């Protein structure tokens, strides 16, 4: 059953299943909570209560918002956690990986850990040499630029074709669902607005995170010329011992969609460790 929580500026939609410690899922831009369709059942089976969120501008959440920063998304996720009686671990992908960093830094009593899947958590620099050397990165950025300039759904789908190298069995139906969702001008406007945001607000907070962070990168992610180096950069910006990097060989920007089993294998031990060793205000 879908629940909706009123926050400043609109409503955030989410559903909750399972029993146990709370895990909050947050997808990337242009997507919906449906992207975690393969992960939710496995996390529930592993003994977790899972809240799957449509971030602002997406899915069944309100379509139009004044701002779409990672800090804004973090505030929405914290509101959901507090509404559900956290604390929680956030699993956030892409823009929501950055939002998970912000939430963890702002409220460690509510966010006791985070798993960041292909996160945009640091300010990005234009990498001309990387564009020239890596065709996948060049093509991905070209498709994204076309989507941003024209509001083109076909360009977004071409980007996804690169970003998800190993297609799930339901990919034709999922493509149609995504195309229908972004065919709404308000939803496309939200996607384009998110694409214009900077990860700098999240990057500035990386040194202030005090809870465990797991970063998961795929080697075939077209969003970076060198995805491993981007993951290593995120870990290096955290306090020593806070972060760990996991690499999924051949995965793209959506590892939870194309390699859900491997994501769950990484996530469950991390979640159990965080919840079993949690101390301090989060236990109060």
Position 262 in a domain: yes
Position 64 in a domain: yes
- Quote the pLDDT of residue 130: 66
The number of domains in the chain is 1
Cis peptide before 120 (omega within 30 of 0): no
Helix axes 153-163, 135-150, angle to 10 degrees: 160
- What are the tens digits of pLDDT across the range 211-240? 999 999 999 999 998 999 999 999 999 999
Position 170 in a domain: no
DSSP3 helix / strand / coil % (the chain, rounded to 5): 50, 20, 35
Residue 89 domain boundaries = 2-125+198-283
- Quote the pLDDT of residue 280: 43
- For residues 114 and 88, the answer to whether their CB atoms sit within 8 Å is no
Distance of CA 262 to the CA centre of its chain: 16
Position 278 in a domain: yes
- What are the tens digits of pLDDT across the range 107-155? 999 999 999 999 999 887 777 676 667 788 888 888 888 988 899 999 9
- For residues 2 and 15, the answer to whether their CB atoms sit within 8 Å is yes
Position 49 in a domain: yes
259 vs 240: CA distance, rounded Å: 29
The reported pTM is 0.92
Q: What CATH number should be reported for the domain holding residue 217?
A: 3.40.50.1820
- Quote the pLDDT of residue 155: 94
């Amino acid at each position: 059953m879908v629940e909706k929580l009123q926050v400043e500026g609109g409503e955030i939609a989410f559903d909750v299943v399972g029993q146990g410690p709370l895990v909050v899922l947050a997808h990337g831009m242009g997507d919906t909570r449906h992207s975690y369709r393969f992960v939710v059942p496995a996390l529930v089976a592993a003994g977790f209560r899972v809240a799957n969120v449509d971030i602002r501008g997406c899915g069944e959440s309100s379509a139009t918002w004044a701002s779409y920063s990672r800090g804004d998304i973090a505030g929405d996720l914290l509101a959901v956690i507090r509404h559900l009686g956290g604390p929680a671990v956030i699993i956030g992908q892409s823009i929501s990986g950055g939002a998970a960093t912000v939430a963890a830094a702002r409220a460690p009593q509510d966010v006791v850990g985070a798993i960041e899947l292909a996160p945009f958590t640091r300010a990005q620099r234009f990498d001309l040499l990387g564009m020239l050397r890596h065709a996948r990165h060049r093509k991905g950025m070209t498709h994204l630029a076309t989507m941003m300039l024209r509001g083109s759904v076909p360009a977004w789908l071409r980007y996804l074709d690169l970003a998800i190298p190993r297609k799930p069995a339901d990919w034709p139906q999922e493509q149609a669902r995504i195309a229908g969702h972004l065919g709404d001008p308000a939803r496309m406007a939200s996607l384009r607005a998110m694409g214009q945001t900077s990860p700098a607000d999240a990057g500035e907070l990386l040194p202030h995170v005090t809870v465990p962070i797991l970063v998961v990168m795929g080697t075939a992610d077209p969003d970076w010329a060198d995805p491993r180096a981007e993951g290593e950069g995120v870990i290096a910006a955290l306090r020593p011992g806070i972060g760990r990097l996991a690499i999924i060989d051949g995965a793209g920007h959506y590892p939870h969609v194309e390699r859900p089993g491997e994501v769950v294998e990484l996530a469950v031990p991390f979640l159990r460790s965080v919840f079993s060793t949690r101390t301090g205000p989060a236990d109060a």
